[in-house]
Amino acid sequence: MLNIPNSLTLLRIALIPVFVLFFYLPVGWSHLITTAIFALAAATDWLDGYLARRLGATSAFGAFLDPVADKLMVATALVLLVDRNPTDYHGILMALPAAIIVGREITISALREWMAEVGATRKVAVNYIGKVKTTAQMVALLLLLYRKPLYGIDAAELGFWLLYVAAVLTLWSMTVYLMAAWPVLLDGKKTAADEQKGA
């Protein structure tokens, strides 16, 4: 169970309290450390999946833990960013895409759990839009965490608008998932045997 990919996933979860600590650390370089920690977490997300496939080390435990670790880190980053400036327009307007992204993850997680119970998991598999959304979301969060000018570009402003792009893609991808699952949601009697028959 505790192979290299799963160890990387556990490391990602262990980094969360460190991430929070450095985020609130009252020093001028805290943004560099928090950005680096988030980037490291994103890198381990890709690496543990790659190693699991390469080493043939996939497991039910890893399949469960990997998306949980991703969602925990992203949700933590969103909460911290909204909390940073609760009274300015960035803080207030950032709450909307943050709520959309977190709400989507809760909705899709619940949907996948229910679809697994009725044996229709393949209908809610990860789609291309979801991958694009994840990329936009991660880049937006990295820019927002860095928040300092980057090569003459206002990283915080760019990250802010990119987060809205990610929120739109989030709604789009959620709609695709729900449309794919809708026939099964209307007929909750579908079973694993039905799924195998392509019913």
| Residue 195 pLDDT | 46
* Whole-number Å distance between alpha carbons of 129 and 182: 18
Residues in CB range of 63: below 8 A, 6 or more apart? none
Mind listing the pLDDT tens digit of every residue in the chain (199 residues)?
Answer: 677 878 888 889 999 999 999 999 999 899 999 999 999 998 988 887 777 777 776 777 667 778 888 889 999 999 999 988 766 666 678 899 999 999 988 888 887 776 766 665 555 555 677 788 889 999 999 999 998 888 888 998 899 999 999 999 999 888 887 887 777 767 755 444 444 444 4
pLDDT digits (tens, 9 = 90+) for 42-53: 898 888 777 777
**What percentage of the chain exceeds 70 in pLDDT?**
81
| Run of H or E including 152 | none
List Cα–Cα distances, 158 to 16, 33, 53, 94, 149, in angstroms.
Answer: 24, 20, 35, 13, 10
- The candidate with the shortest Cα–Cα distance to 123, out of 188, 168, 184, is 184
Residue range 1-84, CATH number: 1.20.120.1760
The domain limits of the chain are: 1-84, 85-199
pLDDT digits (tens, 9 = 90+) for 19-48: 999 999 999 899 999 999 999 998 988 887
| Residue 9 pLDDT | 85
Q: Name the one residue in this structure whose structure tokens are 């940073």.
A: 84
Query: pTM here?
Result: 0.82
Decide if 43 contacts 138 (C-beta within 8 A): no
Task: DSSP letter for 56, please.
Answer: T
Instruction: Please provide the DSSP assignment of 82-136 as one string.
Output: HHHSSSSHHHHHHHHHHHHHHHHHHHHHHHHHHHHHTT-GGGG---HHHHHHHHH
